[in-house]
Amino acid sequence: DAGITQSPRYKITETGRQVTLMCHQTWSHSYMFWYRQDLGHGLRLIYYSAAADITDKGEVPDGYVVSRSKTENFPLTLESATRSQTSVYFCASRPGSNTGELFFGEGSRLTVL
């Protein structure tokens, strides 16, 4: 089915471990985004990408790494997970520029012990 899929949906890890969250979209949208959702903070942008091989920082990029070698994939890596990175992570995509509808995945719930 067409759409945006995230994996894993749930992940428990320990402090200091490396974790990668995957995001795949089938629409060939140019823009892809990673958000984290925490109670009281809403959705905060971690990183975004305007096209393959083009990425840029959002509001809260520290501790995260992204890459985009293919248009359809946008993985998010926590190089050394910390408890403060316990959150629900959402990947999103959009075909055009800064206005217009964002299409979200169903989220990846990450717990760092």
41 in contact with another protein (CB under 8 A): yes
61 in contact with another protein (CB under 8 A): no
| Contacts of another protein in 78-97 (CB under 8 A) | 90, 92, 97
- Smaller CB separation from another protein, 1 or 40: 40
- Smaller CB separation from another protein, 40 or 69: 40
CB-CB neighbours of 11 under 10 Å: 17
- Are 77 and 19 a contacting pair, CB within 8 Å? yes
34 in contact with another protein (CB under 8 A): no
CA 70/CA 37 separation, integer angstroms? 25
- Are 35 and 6 a contacting pair, CB within 8 Å? no
